[in-house]
Amino acid sequence: MTPAAPAAADAVATAGAASGRPPPLRPGDRVTVVSPAGPCSAELLEAGTAWLRKWGLDVRLAPNVLATHPTLPYLAGHDADRARDFEQAWLDPSTAGVLCARGGYGSLRMVDLVDWTAVTAHRKVFLGSSDTTVLHERFRRAGTPTWFGPMVGTRAFVEDTAARERLRRALFTGVSSYGGVGMAPGTARGIAVGGTLSLLVDPPPDGAIVLLEDVNEEPYRLDRMLTGLLRSGWFDRVAGLVLGSWVGCGDASAVLADRLGGLGVPIVADAGFGHCEGQLTVPLGVPVEIDGDTGAVTVGG
């Protein structure tokens, strides 16, 4: 299938930037799959990219997408190679989007090796979650909207039909709203930021709506993370919170209510994004309005 011409891809990116949402993909667009963190299963990656091709996308794989570090097997190759793959994929004028193969661990090691001035001069589609939270943060600094959702070389994409279809709709047509359960009353509007709690690095901008989720963390560990952020003043200027899934985290709801309930901002819980079955794909770096009474989240332009 013929990939979108660079000029067309640039036009789509410009439209996405103007609307305050990630630019939509179209059949024929070229996307490149990268592994900025942990090593990817060849079988899952093959199955995942087959789905992308069924969607009409022209799929390319970064040179080190299946690499494994020679002495640190939890990394998908050397830091410099992962950074170069990401940067070159993003700067390729024929590429409309860069999609992560999986998380694991490693994005924090390569993030400072990327030329972010060059990368953020272009608006394209970026998809990642979990360990790639730090990459979302860098895009957010530059005002570039991104997608937080299931990654191409994971079971969450290959085997979860609902999650995969939600990702497809997000990438091609966008997301206008989602929601959960009201946890703390009130309404607020701000830029959606955040990701996986244990991987947060940068403080949020003033007036942000912070999205949080995590997986396989004991309640006391969640307590420790949240208490540390509270003591540092990390939450002092947020306008509201949207909480996703907490699979394998025990009675996370009690910890979240105890640590976050006193902030005095609207909170929406159980919003369905993160490491859960049928996970939503949600935009970051975009304006959203939340209602802590009804649990509604509206994505605004």
Active-site residue list: 130, 213, 275
- Alpha carbons 283 and 145: distance in angstroms, whole number: 7
Query: Which residue has tokens 């939340």?
Result: 290
Query: How deeply is 284 buried, as exposed, middle or buried, from its count of CB atoms within 10 A (0-12, 13-18, 19+)?
Result: buried
- Alpha carbons 70 and 141: distance in angstroms, whole number: 33
Q: How far is CA 212 from the centre of its chain?
A: 11
Residues with Cβ within 8 Å of 166's Cβ and at least 6 positions away in sequence, in order, are 149, 278, 279, 280, 281
What are 179's two structure tokens?
Answer: 């929601």
- Return the SS3 of 274: coil
Under 8 Å between Cβ of 268 and 290: yes
The DSSP line for 25-64 is: P-TT-EEEEE-SSS---HHHHHHHHHHHHHTT-EEEE-TT
